[in-house]
Amino acid sequence: MNTAFRGAALALLPMLLAACASSTSNATDKTGATPSSDKAEPEFVLLGELHDNPDHHRARAEQLRQLIAQEPKTVVVFEQFSRTEDAAVAAARKTTPGDVNAVIDAAKFDRKGWRWPLHQPLFDVALQSGAEVRGGNIDRDQIRKIVREGDAAWPADLLALRNRAAWNGTQQDTLSKDIQDGHCGAMPEAMLPGMVQAQRARDAAMAQAMLAARQSGAKRVVLIAGNGHVRRDVAVPVYLQAAGVPASDIDAIAYLEPGSATTSGGYDRVERAPAPSREDPCAQFKR
């Protein structure tokens, strides 16, 4: 990647961090459905989102409440902060139990980038229930290195997991298209391989966080992440299955809006909520 492209890739990286709201699915579509509290759920539950839709966060918070009530030994993994902050988060919860602001400060949660308090209903449910909270992401500096350097910059545990995962040209093309679509077609083609690497690393990190939670005693692990990260065909489930998790132990649920496409892809279920008022997401690329 030449210097100009590298600089452009790093400038676009914050957009990649938020551009994970894929809308493809072969799932059952349940508009406004409420999950049943007595439904037996798999051990790994992945709850997608469109990051700026408050109804998605409220609906998922209610689903999370039901999941934890059904299985108290639940760990909640959040895309919204790094796995390197887990010790600080645990210390904050011990010092100031139930203080959501102390927890997100300890997590180095990007309030502006994630438009806090949109995610607060989810954190409130986790903290009030006593469920353990963990980070699933990679530090931004590490992601930038992966964009620049590729495999050499991958954390060893994530690279090992990635190398166990089946990956073909169709998956590569699908993820490249999702990233390009998330940038409104404005990304130079030469930048895509590095951005795909970064997205795959983040998916592997979230899967690894879920696996670690299960190995440490959780009976159920719930992931809170963008729709693009919960896709069965190209995202976190790929790496869970690479580690030996049966497909039947994974439940991938997308939260979309009316009119979002649901072509073949990779969700087990789709929930829908009305779209909020928002600016044209492609406006920043037209300036």
pLDDT at residue number 88 = 98
pLDDT at residue number 286 = 63
- pLDDT, tens only, 211-220: 999 999 999 9
The span from the CA of 223 to the CA of 12, in Å, is 25
pLDDT at residue number 262 = 64
> Which amino acid, one-letter code, is at 122?
L
133, 121, 134, 124: which is closest to 57 by C-alpha? 121
* Region for 184 from its dihedrals, namely left if φ exceeds 0, alpha if ψ lies in -120 to 50, beta otherwise: left
pLDDT at residue number 185 = 87
The span from the CA of 25 to the CA of 16, in Å, is 21
pLDDT at residue number 259 = 80
Q: How many CB atoms lie within 10 A of CB 87?
A: 9
pTM of the model: 0.88
Spans of the chain, pLDDT less than 70: 1-40, 262-265, 285-287
